[in-house]
Structure 1
């Protein structure tokens, strides 16, 4: 059995990460994704979910995050959407990777990692939802 798509709804709670990672592993395995792509995809989704939960709901209100994956030819496309506060992660400045570590500002490495791992990435605000789309190429 090959799965070409996966759609999930999560509460904005970090406890949702473990079942999410299991679902991602299942999708990657049944879609026969290369291990390197599966690892990159999982790291990127984990980072974005963590950021959404940690920063998108500063008042700790209940919220919903959706994750959609599509295996299309030589790419896997991911769409993550949440109803948290508006924030475009790709407008964050690039992290300082040259200064001594004790002189660097904290944060920003996760989004930098996503920028380098994904073949493409984008953000848009759709009504009251942040929507991040990523694509990963399978021929790495």
Structure 2
């Protein structure tokens, strides 16, 4: 399982994207754009909010192929050592029927993640937050 450990800083996003493009299994390559999009949404939140202001923590990123829900999938994982936070339970669904000016800030990233992934999971293990998101093999056109 390829893994990457990075300091929790926004300037690490380019290194993370390089890691993704170098390690994504070939049959999931058509999903790379969605994987990068989800990765950025998750990591910007970790890098911005997981650790107390003025400190830099770490993040661990991993990719693995799994058989889940009766199909082969790509699992992308993010782990951090920040305060407990489950974005799938604690971030309300946005009201997308409202125009942008009327909508409260927050929630669109998680909405986006849910819309481009097959399954999402959060767990708290050994004082770490772990998020796993699962991508189906893209259908070939």
TM tier, shorter chain?
A: 0.7 to 0.9
TM-score (norm 1): 0.88
Mapping for residues 93-132 of structure 1, pairs under 5 Å: 93-132=92-131
Name 1:43's counterpart in structure 2.
37
| Alpha carbons 2:63, 2:77 under 8 Å: kept | yes
Indicate which of 82, 85, 90 corresponds to 2:83. 85
Gapped runs of 5+ residues in structure 1? Answer: none
- CA deviation digits over 1:69-101, x for unaligned, max 9? 012463111111001111101011101101122
- TM-score, scaled relative to structure 2: 0.87
Query: 2:7 is matched with which residue: 5, 11, 14?
Result: 11
Q: Give the RMSD, CA atoms, in angstroms.
A: 1.5
Take 2:103 and 2:138, find their aligned partners in 1: how far apart are those partners?
35
Q: After TM superposition, where is structure 1 displaced by more than 6 Å over at least 4 residues in a row?
A: none
* SS at 1:100 equivalent: coil
